Amino acid sequence: MNAGIRMTDVVIPDSLHGRRLDQALADLTGLSRSRIRTLLDEAHILKNGRSCKGADRASAGEAYSIDLPPAAPPSPTPSSASLPPLSVPSAASAARGAAHWK
């Protein structure tokens, strides 16, 4: 297992039998359905060592292994301290520029 990846196993309960796999796994794990679909598309969710599709139907008692890769770090947002000061022309220089274009 790679560092930073968490692996978990889930078993489909009777109450979710017959539902779409992505819906059932979202309900069981608390992850969003779109996150589950991404994990399915990237083969991070396996049944008996094989990849699955979100449209597959869940069957009660089936076990799935889910590899949760580490979340991507949030992109840094610039703080106001790191931004350069704005250069605002004075009224006098604005007037000179306007006179130039007449």
Residues 12-57: tens digit of each pLDDT:
999 999 999 999 999 999 999 999 999 999 999 999 889 999 999 9
Q: From start to end of the chain, where are the E strands?
A: 6-11, 45-47, 50-51, 63-68
Alpha carbons 47 and 16: distance in angstroms, whole number: 16
Q: Spell out the domains of the chain, with CATH numbers in brackets.
A: 6-68 (3.10.290.10)
Query: How much is the pTM?
Result: 0.64
Q: From start to end of 21-85, where are the E strands?
A: 45-47, 50-51, 63-68
50-68 pLDDT, tens digit each:
999 999 999 999 999 999 8
Question: Which tokens go with 8?
Answer: 């978990």
